[in-house]
Amino acid sequence: MMGAMTYRVCLVCMGNICRSPMAEVVLRKTLENHGLGDRVVVESAGTGGWHVGDPMDERALEILALHGYDGAEHRARQFTGDWFDRYDLVLAMDRDNVSNLRRLAAPGGEVRLFRSFDPDAPEGAEVPDPYYGGREGFEEVLALVESASEGVAEHIADEIH
């Protein structure tokens, strides 16, 4: 990345209503805190299409709001193979979605686990899907994405500088 070009990242989970939009909101704020908000576009999507156009899960919105984040603008989208050309970095929340994305990717379309940027996370660590659980699952997701977002922001800062 050179000069004032915009760096683009897409965060991906299954339905794009819990994990990836939470991570999108958190990463965007983290990048702003690092002075990179105007240089990086953060978006999210799901590998499945059943929630396309829907807002974020109410529980995810509530947990974000309790911690000072706003996810109200989010609407779910589905990732398609031609999107790889749009992004500098595609990060999946878990191994299933890494596999789903790799099936869509043209040669050279790189996918990494979101938590691979968290220095405290074990190798291969995932962001678990909170959808079928209670509120504590969404709290856990927020803590995990906050921790990994710092590492993602540092990686992006290195890439653009």
Question: Is position 72 within any domain?
Answer: yes
Question: Is position 98 within any domain?
Answer: yes
Question: Is position 126 within any domain?
Answer: yes
Q: What is the pTM of this model?
A: 0.95
CA quadruple 102, 103, 109, 114: dihedral sign: negative
pLDDT in tens, the chain (161 residues): 344 589 999 999 999 999 999 999 999 999 999 999 999 999 999 999 999 999 999 999 999 999 999 999 999 999 999 999 999 999 999 999 999 999 988 776 789 999 999 999 999 999 999 999 999 999 999 999 999 999 999 999 999 98
Question: Is position 46 within any domain?
Answer: yes
Q: What are phi and psi of 107, to 5 degrees?
A: -50, 135
Total domains in the fold of the chain: 1
What CATH number does residue 28 fall under?
3.40.50.2300
Question: Is position 12 within any domain?
Answer: no
Q: What residues make up the domain containing 87?
A: 22-160
pLDDT in the model for residue 2: 41
What per-residue string of b and e applies to 76-110 under the rule 16 or more CB within 10 Å gives b?
A: bbbbeeebbeebbbbbbbbeebbebbeebeeeeee
Could you give the residue numbers annotated as active site? 13, 19, 129
Question: Is position 4 within any domain?
Answer: no
Question: Is position 38 within any domain?
Answer: yes
Question: Is position 2 within any domain?
Answer: no
